[in-house]
Amino acid sequence: MQYPVNLLLEGRRCLVVGGGRVAVRKVEGLLACGAQVKVVAPRLDADLVDRAGVTCEQRAWKPGDLAGVWLVIAATDDPDANRAVYEAGERAGTWVNGADDPANCSFTLPSVVRRGDLQVAVSTGGRSPALASWLRRRFEDEIGPEYGILLDLLATEREGLKAAGRSTEGLDWQSALDSDMLGLIRNGDLVHARERLLTCLSSSSD
């Protein structure tokens, strides 16, 4: 059984060992989270060399590369190399993900649907990435951009209540979500969607 978490990588130093297309995808995900990314590999994809915010060193990795690094992704096509990175990470107390190599991982990466700050993650514990990807595609079809807008509406109102010194506990957020807020948002009627939210919240605070 794996323990699901969301890691806060903003400003943290992360290392990617490997320089191919898999490494490119991993780097993109780290950069999207604000990580400081370094890539080490004997051969580097052009998309890595030219990417802003990435430090690249074209050479073989060494255990010393893990010094001061918070998280590592081993994205080589060599299982022995991935194993060596994982073992070095274990000794250093650094989290390591072996891309498509769950035996050499201290954490695995789920398939994720993102709609703004909303994330829906699907994990098979590394046992079947194909199933996780298949489920993610199904969720992508069902969870459209309106869900991100819904999250923004809810979060804005919650932050406003807290700023006014009011508790957000005990308010009937579920009734608001069960109402037709989502349908109103899909139709572009954000004014009435917010009114629906406020009506549900005010009735629960009476």
pLDDT tens by residue, the chain, 206 residues: 888 899 999 999 999 999 999 999 999 999 999 999 999 999 999 999 989 889 999 999 999 999 999 999 999 989 899 999 999 999 999 999 998 888 899 999 899 999 999 999 999 988 898 999 999 999 998 999 999 999 999 999 999 999 999 999 889 999 999 998 999 999 999 999 999 999 999 876 65
How many domains, in total, are found in the chain?
Answer: 2
Identify the domain boundary among 61, 92, 109: 109
Same domain, 26 and 73: yes
Identify the domain boundary among 109, 136, 164: 109
Same domain, 48 and 102: yes
Same domain, 95 and 156: no
Same domain, 103 and 150: no
Same domain, 156 and 104: no
Is 141 inside a domain boundary?
A: no
Distance CA 141, CA 77 (A): 32
Residues 6+ apart with CB under 8 A from 20: 41, 43, 45, 75, 77
Residue with tokens 């699907």: 122
Residues 6+ apart with CB under 8 A from 74: 17, 18, 81, 82, 85, 86, 96, 97, 98, 99, 101, 104
Same domain, 22 and 102: yes
Same domain, 104 and 168: no
Same domain, 26 and 99: yes
Kindly compute the dihedral angle of the four CA atoms of residues 84, 82, 35, 71, in this order, to the nearest 10 degrees: -40
Domain of 74 in residue numbering reads as 13-109
pLDDT of 126: 81
pLDDT of 100: 82
Same domain, 105 and 151: no
Is 53 inside a domain boundary?
A: yes
Same domain, 94 and 19: yes
